[in-house]
Amino acid sequence: MTGTDSAAREPRPQIPLLLTTVFLAYLGQMTLNPVIAPLAREVGLSEWQIGATISVAAIMVVVSSQFWGRRSQSWGRKPVLLAALGLAAAAMAGFAVVAAAGMRALLPTAALFLLFVLLRGVGFGSALAAIAPTAQAYIADVTADEAARTKGMAGVGAVQGVAMIGGAVVGGALAGFGMLAPIAVVPVLLVFGLVLVAVRLRREPRHELIPEPARVSPTDRRVWPFLLAGFGMFTALGFMQVLIGFVVQDRLALSAELTGVVTGGSLLAAGIGMVAAQSVIVPRSGWSPAALLRVGTVVACAGFALLVPDLGAWPLILAILLIGLGLGIAMPGYTAGPTLLMSREEQGGLAGLIGATNGLTFVVAPTASTALYGLWPPLPILVGAVLMGMVALFVLLHPRFRSAAVSGTSAAEADPTA
């Protein structure tokens, strides 16, 4: 048998199936976003309580992302995805039941808040932490060059953007039938993803697994500039994302049901921007990860600046579109850049570290933004704009991002202690 025949018989990487799984998981999350703010008010929770719930979910992402990322290499992708999707489906089914009880005033506010934190925060947050790191570690493992790696990582971001569009459409449309309709759909989507993985995803042969994946330090000189840039970007996003339902309702003076519909439309704009960036601009531009970060952060900064003043509905939607477009350009640079500097044994730990960094941004941002919103509504958006501006300056000035590309690692760079 020739080498060519052997290669031809090897099964093709299941990147599309992994991306479909990411899509379904994030579609479940995004379907909830248009109604989470008005739902909180309908069941008697304050802004800070829903912010705290999302912050707890972010803490769970931080705590569990490195674990999931490394386990995806030692256990295999399929067992990790099955465990995560099963946990997510169970948590969100319980959340739907609790939300229904809250709408009927069957639970006291304190108990309702505690159950929101346990189910949407602890349960769903820790489960969601496994999905993207598993997909990213897989893509890093099966792609060998910068262009393929960047394109694959852009695929993860693109399906998240499509999920944002789908969640905005599904969540916003179902909100017209009542607050509980979108919530009931979420566990169904997660169960569908669970069945798809169980039936279709191959479990890797034993020789592809790494019993003891390498740990990656956040202070590794190959990694920390990317992590700092990502932390800033996602913190700014967190300041906007949690508040958008409150901003829409208060600026446009809408009812709870109509707020869900209009918020869905606003998130649809962000998703369109993200998908356009990662499906068209990133693959066709040929830009390096560093260039993607520079261009994307500047565009997102312009979107935040436009969102600060109350200029009406259409400028609000345009601002959110620009934020989605900018982050859609920057995110593949942030996720693909450091993978080009890492060995295969480090990819799972790196993917978990990136997931933990993303989650860390949502530990503080939801609670801080909702608290600042109570003081003065434009204040948290202004803070987000300043943060995004600082990230843009950092990636424009730091030597790591001023080089033409981040690949081609020197011997000194390959040693994280050098």
Q: How far apart are CA 249 and CA 121, in angstroms?
A: 24
Q: What is the pLDDT of residue 55?
A: 78
CB atoms within 10 A of CB 94: 17
Pick from 201, 171, 221: which is nearest to 400 by CA?
A: 221
d(CA 63, CA 76): 20
Q: Is residue 8 part of a domain?
A: no
The DSSP 8-state label assigned to residue 208 in this structure reads G
State the Cα–Cα distance between residues 224 and 214, nearest whole angstrom. 17
Per-residue pLDDT at 59 exceeds 90 = no
What average pLDDT score do residues 298-327 get? 94
What mean pLDDT comes out for the span 144-161?
76
pLDDT at 416: 43
Residue 207 lies in a domain: no
Q: Where are the alpha helices (DSSP H) in 104-145?
A: 109-116, 124-142
Average pLDDT, the chain: 84
pLDDT band at 291 (very low <50, low <70, confident <90, very high): very high
- Express each pLDDT in 247-260 by its tens digit: 988 999 888 778 87
Of 93-102, 145-154, 202-211, the range with the highest mean pLDDT is 93-102
97 — pLDDT class (breaks 50, 70, 90): very high
Return the CATH number at 268. Answer: 1.20.1250.20
**Quick check: is 4 in a domain?**
no
Total domain count, the chain: 1
Average pLDDT estimate for 69-81: 83
Question: Is residue 209 included in any domain, yes or no?
Answer: no
Which token pair is 121? Answer: 């925060």
State the distance between the two ends of the chain, measured CA to CA, in whole angstroms: 45
CA-wise closest residue to 46 among 377, 371, 383, 372:
371
Is residue 138 within 8 A of residue 226, CB to CB? The reply is no
Per-residue pLDDT at 412: 36
Radius of gyration of the chain (CA): 21
Please give the helix or strand (H or E) that residue 354 lies within, else none: helix 347-375
Q: Is 404 helix (H, G, I), strand (E, B) or coil?
A: coil
Query: Could you tell me if residue 407 is left (phi over 0), alpha (psi between -120 and 50 degrees) or otherwise beta?
Result: beta
**Better-predicted residue by pLDDT, 9 or 342:** 342
Residue 398 region by backbone torsions, left for phi larger than 0, else alpha for psi between -120 and 50, else beta: beta
| Residue 329 and residue 292 in contact, taking contact as beta carbons nearer than 8 Å | yes
State mean pLDDT over 131-137.
83
**Residue 307 belongs to what domain range?**
14-202+215-414
Cβ neighbours for 316, distance < 8 A, ≥ 6 positions apart: 247, 248, 251, 266, 307
Average pLDDT, integer, range 177-196: 92
| Exposure of 119 in the CB half-sphere (CA atoms within 13 A) | 20
Q: How far apart are CA 199 and CA 85, in angstroms?
A: 14
| Alpha-carbon gap, residue 334 to 332, rounded angstroms | 5
pLDDT tens digits for range 382-409: 999 999 999 999 999 999 887 544 444 4
Give every CB contact of residue 50 below 8 A, 6+ residues apart in sequence: 36, 37, 40, 116, 242, 366, 370
Q: Which two tokens stand for residue 387?
A: 């943060």
- Residue 58, pLDDT above cutoff 90: no
Q: What is the mean pLDDT of residues 342-365?
A: 80
Residue corresponding to tokens 């869905």? 264
**208 lies in a domain?**
no
Residue 244 lies in a domain: yes
Pair 61, 352: CB distance under 8 Å: no
CB 258 within 8 A of CB 252: no
User: What does the pLDDT read at residue 396?
Assistant: 94
Q: What percent of the chain has pLDDT over 70?
A: 91
Q: How confident is the model at residue 201 (pLDDT cuts 50, 70, 90)?
A: confident
Q: What angle do CA 339, 67, 235 make, to 5 degrees?
A: 65
Among 11, 2, 364, 39, which residue's Cα sits nearest to residue 175? 39
* Max CA separation in the chain (angstroms): 72
C-alpha distances in Å from residue 356, one per residue of 87, 240, 352 = 19, 20, 6
Q: Would you state the pLDDT for residue 231?
A: 94
| Assigned domain for 28 exists | yes
